Amino acid sequence: MKKRVVVIGAGASGMTAAIFAARAGAETTLLEHRDRPGKKLLSTGNGKCNLSNRRLDDRCYRSGDPGFPMEVIQGFPLKRTLDFFEGLGIVIRDRDGYLYPRSGQASSVAEVLRRGIRDSGVRMETNCHVRGVRTFGDAAAGHFAVLTDSGTFEGDAVILACGSKAAPATGSDGSGYDLAESLGHTIIKPLPALVQLRCRENFYRQIAGIRIEAEVSLWSGGERLADDQGELQLTDYGISGIPVFQVSRFAARALDEKKPVTARIDFFPGMPEKRVRDMLCERAARRPEGAMEEFFTGWLPDKLSRFFLKYAGIRGERPAASLSKREFRALERVIRAFETEIAAVNSFEHAQVCCGGVDVREVSPRTMESQKRRGLYLAGELLDVDGICGGYNLQFAWSSGAVAGMHAGV
């Protein structure tokens, strides 16, 4: 008699888990509460689906157990991931290590996974809302009844791949946390990650819409929490862009702990301090009678340079030669170490992933099986693992889903 596996959640990790459970020989049922699987995939990589990245190491992930994510990925590494998708029909495009489907469409990835589900003989149930998971026997046993509004599905193994609370419009409603907790697991409070930061100051409307290369570092109580460099976006409420996304989970956690958080922005990242000072002096010497309102033309966006002058207390009509060394130093400090107070992170609706989730110390990285309940497996965003931007969260989804499916299915 075939082993029966029930997979809850048809996102990236859930669809992968179902395919590999079925390929392992299990009679597999995939339950999805929306009308179509894989909706969140459609928005990944700005609709292009950044499948993975050739640069994979521990530094790309954050977790309660720092070694856990890469140990999972070693069980289903990048080569096997690419072989899997190429076998489904995806042609891979490599853009400086960032891996995409050559079609440039996330819908292609979702479609081949749906086709893989059909071809593997997985039973798919959509619009199926899970109300609870009942277990039979003690923790050493592995028999389950999944209770839904469509009926009860029995299995010898269950894979929880329900996603997080991020981007709820795509179906991530956080219900998996309750299911995992009901089955004995500890939940580390989920918070938005890879998300924009809201700042306390009221001047952001003046500079909204600017995009510029910068380094963003986060500070709390004199401690540097994190930093990243890339294209910064200034919005009417604060700061956004890849470097902000990369550090946002540290702001979310600190703010949740009621700690003050400050962002420090360097608008000339990587440039030696003396070089910036020399450039300011050289520019002033070249046009000593030129008005300061034109001083940064060709160097910084006009709107931003006017803001810097105002912030440093320098009138735009003043000639460059009239500025004192102290005033130039004040201007330099604004440009190299601009500080802004972080009031909040944007909500789950705007977040790409969550930090927090099921405590990974209660899950085997080799099999993805629960250490609390035999026959229960967990995968994907439900776990306390969040990667940086660049395909890392999807790689963890593919790897954790495949490992869970392969071991649940045998």
For residues 170 and 324, give the distance between their C-alpha atoms in angstroms, rounded to a whole number.
Answer: 56
Report the greatest alpha carbon distance in the chain. 89
Direct distance between the N- and C-terminal alpha carbons of the chain, in angstroms, rounded to an integer: 12
Same domain, 47 and 136: yes
What rounded mean pLDDT belongs to the chain? 96
- Residue 204 located in a structural domain: yes
Band of residue 212 on the pLDDT scale cut at 50, 70, 90: very high
Band of residue 235 on the pLDDT scale cut at 50, 70, 90: very high
Same domain, 76 and 104: yes
Report pLDDT for 139: 60
Same domain, 80 and 42: yes
Q: Annotate 273-312 with DSSP letters as a single string.
A: HHHHHHHHHHHHHHSTTSBGGGTTTTTS-HHHHHHHHHHT
Kindly list the strands in the beta sheet with 123-125, ordered across the sheet, starting from the edge strand earlier in the chain: 123-125, 27-31, 4-8, 157-160, 376-378
Q: State the sign of the Cα–Cα–Cα–Cα dihedral 360, 361, 365, 366.
A: negative
Domain termination site, one of 345, 378, 395: 345
Cα-only R_g, the chain: 25
For the domain that residue 216 is a member of, what is the CATH number?
A: 1.10.8.260
Average pLDDT over residues 179-206: 97
Same domain, 338 and 381: no
Report pLDDT for 136: 85
Structure tokens at 54: 């050739």
pLDDT at 57 over 70: yes
Q: What is residue 50's three-state secondary structure?
A: coil
For residues 162 and 40, give the distance between their C-alpha atoms in angstroms, rounded to a whole number.
Answer: 12
Range of the domain at 11: 4-192+355-408
For the domain that residue 161 is a member of, what is the CATH number?
A: 3.50.50.60
- Residue 325 located in a structural domain: yes
Same domain, 254 and 292: yes
Contacts of 194 (CB under 8 A, 6+ apart): 166, 245, 246, 248, 249, 351, 352, 353, 386, 388, 389, 393
- Residue 22 located in a structural domain: yes
pLDDT at 250 over 80: yes
Q: Structure pTM?
A: 0.95
- Residue 160 located in a structural domain: yes
Q: How many domains does the chain have?
A: 2
- Residue 261 located in a structural domain: yes
174 torsion bin: left (phi>0), alpha (psi -120 to 50), beta (else): left
Band of residue 140 on the pLDDT scale cut at 50, 70, 90: low
Same domain, 174 and 246: no
Same domain, 359 and 382: yes
What residues form DSSP beta bridges with 172? none
- Residue 350 located in a structural domain: no
Report pLDDT for 71: 98
What residues form DSSP beta bridges with 369? 377
Q: Tens of pLDDT along 165-189?
A: 999 999 899 999 999 999 999 999 9
Same domain, 87 and 213: no
Q: Tens of pLDDT along 73-125?
A: 999 999 999 999 999 999 999 999 999 999 999 999 999 999 999 999 999 99
Report pLDDT for 141: 64
Place of tokens 């990589």: 45
Same domain, 316 and 179: no
Domain termination site, one of 292, 312, 345: 345
Band of residue 273 on the pLDDT scale cut at 50, 70, 90: confident
What's at 270, amino acid-wise?
G
Same domain, 72 and 45: yes
pLDDT at 132 over 90: yes
159 contacts 28 by C-beta, under 8 angstroms: no
- Residue 273 located in a structural domain: yes
Report pLDDT for 171: 87
46 vs 9, residue with greater confidence: 9
Question: Which of 385, 116, 120 has the alpha carbon at shortest distance from 249?
Answer: 385
Q: State the sign of the Cα–Cα–Cα–Cα dihedral 102, 106, 112, 113.
A: positive
Same domain, 158 and 225: no
Same domain, 140 and 248: no
- Can you count the helices (H) and strands (E) in the chain? 11, 21
Band of residue 233 on the pLDDT scale cut at 50, 70, 90: very high
Triad 155, 161, 162: Cα angle to 5°: 110
Q: Tens of pLDDT along 283-338?
A: 999 999 999 999 999 999 999 999 999 999 999 999 999 999 999 999 999 999 99
pLDDT at 210 over 90: yes
Q: What distances in angstroms separate CA 379 from CA 159, 162, 224, 386, one per listed residue?
A: 7, 8, 32, 12
Question: Which of 192, 350, 168 has the alpha carbon at shortest distance from 256?
Answer: 192
- Residue 174 located in a structural domain: yes
Domain termination site, one of 345, 363, 387: 345
